[in-house]
Amino acid sequence: MSQESLGPPRGHRTLRAGPTAMALVVGLAALTASASESELVRDIQRYCTVCWRNARLDPGLWDDCTQEVCCRLLSKARAGQLDLNLVLADDTSERRELVRAIDMVRKRVQRSKRHQPLDDQYMPGPDFDRRHRNRQELGEILEAARQAVLTLRQDKIVELWTRGWTVPEIGESMSLPVARVSDEKYKALRKLERYLAGRRDELDLGQGLAEENDARSVG
């Protein structure tokens, strides 16, 4: 198979996504059987961004805050406590859970800013280090899953898709019919779902949920 460029097609608006963001897209998608997994994740990200802007949080923290919210949603979805497809629906328990997660993260960031000495403003604390480490571990697990169960073609399709490419754009880049790309993407996500289902302990984010409960009791 020829080595196609991973650069975006002409006129494409690149979606900037770091390794943890890409991992969460795959993780969330593997738990949703709908045909619009990427749209769901992007809608959640956009919703969070509006909340961070309205709360006047430092823009440099927005991505980290959004990743934390997504991690909490992923954890509860994996435990069967919510349906990811309903988190943005009106008047659902899933929507209320999203709002609670956002509110918890917002309060934590604002509380941390109020109590942080000036000299320490740019020094990450132990809580930040732990959350960052958890997300790194999640990314490593999902990367290992891709390497373990996906074909080279499927892995490239997932790679491009998590970067924000549409199925038609991927098909054009790889000289594949759109139907073939869609089918390979579906198979890849199902493979990842089965692989991750057997590694629930490795994906455990229970500590994050415990922190959430602690934050609620304090805030």
For residue 116, the 8-state DSSP code is S
C-alpha–C-alpha distance, residues 79 and 71, integer Å: 12
- What does the block give as tokens for 96? 């209320």
Q: Is 31 helix (H, G, I), strand (E, B) or coil?
A: coil
C-alpha–C-alpha distance, residues 166 and 64, integer Å: 25
Answering whether pTM is above 0.85, one says no
CB within 8 Å of 137: residues ≥ 6 apart: none
CB within 8 Å of 102: residues ≥ 6 apart: 48, 51, 69
Per residue in 111-167, pLDDT (tens digit) is 876 655 544 444 455 555 555 565 566 667 777 888 899 999 999 998 887 676 778
